[in-house]
Amino acid sequence: MKRAWIVLLALGCAACSGGEHQDLQQFVRQANQGLRGHVTPLPQVTPYVPYTYNDYATPSPFDLTRLIPAPGAGGVRPNLDRPKGPLEAYSLQTLHMVGILERKGDMTALVEAPDNKIFSVRVGDHMGQNFGTVTRLTPTEIDLKEIVQDDTGQWTQRENKLLLEQNQEQKK
């Protein structure tokens, strides 16, 4: 019985593929006639040639010891042993001079930090993240000397200023 069903099913499939789809089969044959597959060849890969660094007379570009200053080298150095002041936690660009107080010739500057805290600053106080020391106060500015490292690792001194903000109302 099973064989009879299989034979009937095969005859049914053969009958379906007869004349009904002749146009479709002819289209597929014609569409395939003009096609030719062409794959471009892969580009020639140049082999890797390792480079051996043999120039021991010049310093290695990966040697970081040149950034560490030589012991006993003269010049300016920050005092890393002293306790840091509260204004040394802030970058100098984020601090704003907002006023000055003067009593009997003794000046004190008022500096606002980014968290809106106001600090009083006198000559000799430290501020900014580059070991800045206040050297002079005027009614319009705070003069500082900062100690920074150059690209060779040597400490150098530079001067900077923090100017009084004139337009307090525009800031808020």
CATH code at 147?
2.30.30.830
CA–CA gap between residue 43 and residue 5 (Å, rounded): 57
In a domain, 121, yes or no: yes
CA–CA gap between residue 85 and residue 127 (Å, rounded): 7
Q: How does pLDDT run across 39-50, given as a tens digit for each residue?
A: 888 999 999 999
CA angle 96/102/108 to nearest 5° reads 40
Instruction: Judge residue 106's burial from the number of C-beta atoms within 10 Å of its C-beta, 0-12 exposed, 13-18 middle, 19 or more buried.
Output: exposed
In a domain, 67, yes or no: no
pLDDT for the residue numbered 123: 94
Q: How does pLDDT run across 57-94, given as a tens digit for each residue?
A: 776 767 766 555 555 555 788 888 889 999 999 999 99
Q: Strand, helix or coil at 40? A: coil
Range of the structural domain that residue 134 is part of: 86-166
Residue 101: pLDDT over 70: yes
In a domain, 109, yes or no: yes
Walk across the sheet containing 155-163 and list its strands: 126-127, 132-137, 141-149, 155-163
Q: Is the dihedral of CA 82, 88, 89, 91 positive or negative?
A: negative
Q: Report the predicted TM-score, pTM, of the whole model to 2 decimal places.
A: 0.54
pLDDT for the residue numbered 19: 63
Structural domain count of the chain: 1
